[in-house]
């Protein structure tokens, strides 16, 4: 059973394995709404928790795939839990420190030619200065031979000994501040105590019931569904994973007895034509069967 957590009216999935399982095996996409630990100051790519639409939650509960838990109950804490969290954060700090050292080593090798050029320029400057200050040709030749061993037409490079010396100095670096590293916020606590499932109070209106029935019918036909608000509909219907496919349909839920203005039909038809999608008017018959009416804009001379 996949654990869903109801918190302030929204349903979330915190476990990464459960989020992958929902997408890969149950065609439930959801929406990531959390910041990434290593990129917290952007909202282009988001991470856990995974927020589910009410219709997605209803399908999972009806099919017995998941259970709904109360996400407002604070987890119990104790000395063992605090000690485990402290050890986890210390381990994370050590891992991030090693990553910083590896990154600095990589940059050191990338900048080896620049460092070699800088050292060569410094040696040349010292040789020139010694030549100007020295009055003895013997001392000048000694400095030149000791500092300008490399031919001028060759590209300066660091020797193996010089590179090892720089890496050794890098290993001795101890200036990593723990407060400068990222802290992983734990979002799930494994506990031996089991929490009882809570009831799911949705749908409450005829419109919500229709949306749930339409969502479940299309989902059972093998489609992926996401929110269709950005295209003026209720759902976007995909033939496969939204990461790989564009949506084919814009599903608009309409009560069978509800009147629809001609202007609204024209608006939906033009909308589907402009975004290269087919608009589906979805309604429920008296027997409970879901009926679909497609709208396609046809140009007329």
Tens of pLDDT, residues 224-278: 999 999 998 999 999 999 999 999 999 999 998 888 888 888 888 888 888 999 9
Q: Smallest Cα–Cα separation from 215: which of 258, 265, 241, 249?
A: 249
What span, in angstroms and rounded, lies between the C-alpha atoms of 94 and 110?
24
221 in catalytic set: no
Question: Averaged over 46-65, what is the pLDDT?
Answer: 95
Tell me the sheet residues that pair with 235: 227, 251
What span, in angstroms and rounded, lies between the C-alpha atoms of 196 and 253?
34
What span, in angstroms and rounded, lies between the C-alpha atoms of 192 and 211?
37
More confident residue, 59 or 117: 59
What span, in angstroms and rounded, lies between the C-alpha atoms of 158 and 81?
50
User: Can you give the pLDDT at residue 99?
Assistant: 84
Residue 136, pLDDT > 60, answer: no
The single residue of 5, 223, 249, 277 carrying the catalytic annotation is: 277
User: Can you give the pLDDT at residue 241?
Assistant: 95
The single residue of 12, 223, 238, 249 carrying the catalytic annotation is: 238
pTM: 0.66
The answer to whether the beta carbons of residues 233 and 252 sit under 8 Å apart is: yes
The single residue of 63, 125, 129, 246 carrying the catalytic annotation is: 246
Angle at 164 between CA 160 and CA 166, to 5 degrees: 120
238 in catalytic set: yes
277 in catalytic set: yes
Q: Which range (33-37, 189-193, 264-268, 285-289) has the least confidence?
A: 189-193
């Amino acid at each position: 059973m996949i654990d869903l957590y109801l918190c302030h009216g929204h349903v979330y999935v915190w476990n990464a394995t459960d989020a992958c399982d929902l997408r890969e095996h149950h065609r439930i996409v959801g929406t990531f709404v959390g910041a990434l630990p290593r990129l917290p100051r952007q909202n282009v790519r988001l991470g856990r928790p995974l927020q589910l639409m009410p219709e997605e939650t209803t399908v999972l509960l009806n099919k017995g795939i998941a259970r709904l838990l109360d996400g407002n109950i604070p987890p119990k804490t104790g000395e063992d839990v605090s000690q485990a969290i402290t050890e986890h954060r210390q381990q994370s700090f050590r891992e991030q420190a090693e990553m910083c050292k590896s990154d600095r080593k990589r940059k050191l090798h990338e900048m080896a030619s620049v460092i070699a050029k800088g050292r060569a320029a410094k040696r040349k400057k010292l040789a020139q200065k010694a030549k100007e200050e020295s009055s003895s040709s013997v001392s000048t030749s000694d400095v030149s031979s000791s500092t300008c061993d490399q031919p001028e037409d060759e590209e300066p490079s660091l020797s193996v000994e010089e590179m090892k010396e720089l890496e050794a100095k890098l290993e001795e670096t101890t200036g990593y501040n723990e407060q400068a590293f990222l802290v992983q916020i734990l979002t799930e606590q494994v506990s031996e105590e089991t929490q009882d499932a809570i009831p799911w109070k949705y749908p409450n209106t005829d419109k919500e019931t229709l949306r749930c029935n339409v969502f479940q019918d299309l989902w059972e036909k093998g489609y992926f569904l996401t929110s269709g608000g950005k295209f003026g509909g209720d759902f976007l219907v995909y033939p496969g994973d939204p990461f790989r496919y564009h949506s084919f349909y814009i599903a608009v839920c309409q009560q069978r007895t509800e009147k629809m203005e001609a202007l609204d039909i024209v608006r939906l038809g033009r909308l589907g034509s402009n975004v290269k999608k087919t608009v589906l008017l979805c309604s429920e018959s008296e027997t409970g069967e879901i009926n679909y009416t497609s709208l396609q804009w046809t140009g007329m001379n």
